[in-house]
Amino acid sequence: MKKFFLVVGVVGVVIAAGWAMKALTTVQAKARNSRLSNDIESLFEGLQKYKEYAGAYPKGSNADIAKALQGQNEKKITVLVGRKLELNGKGEYVDPWGNPLRIYFSDNSVLIRSAGPNGRFDESTAMEFDDFIRSN
């Protein structure tokens, strides 16, 4: 009888640990998604303010855009973008997984793309597609 209760106890502990890990993973994923959404909104606002003051969106790579928003531009305009966005060692804005964002401009709109948790920019038809794509 003691062995039965011991086995039931061990099984219960394993199930509880599995549930706790799944809950923790879900909470972490939601937090990263929320942070990404907030970061992208802040970046949209910053890019729009930059355009208002400079007359056009900044040009160049992710790192060039980050420098322009930080005041390294012809007009010496510095734009504060909400919470301080994370930069990697190359000076690029990154998503919560540490991957550089891709930033695209057209006449009056901006598209920002994150590679998502898998770190790859996937085709939208790929089974592993987890990219985040937002435009204003």
For the segment 50-96, what is each residue's pLDDT rounded down to a tens digit?
999 999 999 999 999 999 999 999 888 888 776 678 899 999 999 99
Q: How far apart are CA 91 and CA 9, in angstroms?
A: 52
Query: For the structural domain made of 33-135, what CATH number should be given?
Result: 3.30.700
Q: What is the DSSP letter of 83?
A: S
114 forms bridges with which residues in the sheet?
Answer: 132
Tell me, yes or no, if the pTM score tops 0.75: no
* Degrees to nearest 5, angle at CA 45 with 42 and 50: 125
Residue range 16-25: average pLDDT?
62
Tell me what pLDDT residue 57 has. 93
Contact 83, 37 (CB under 8 A): no
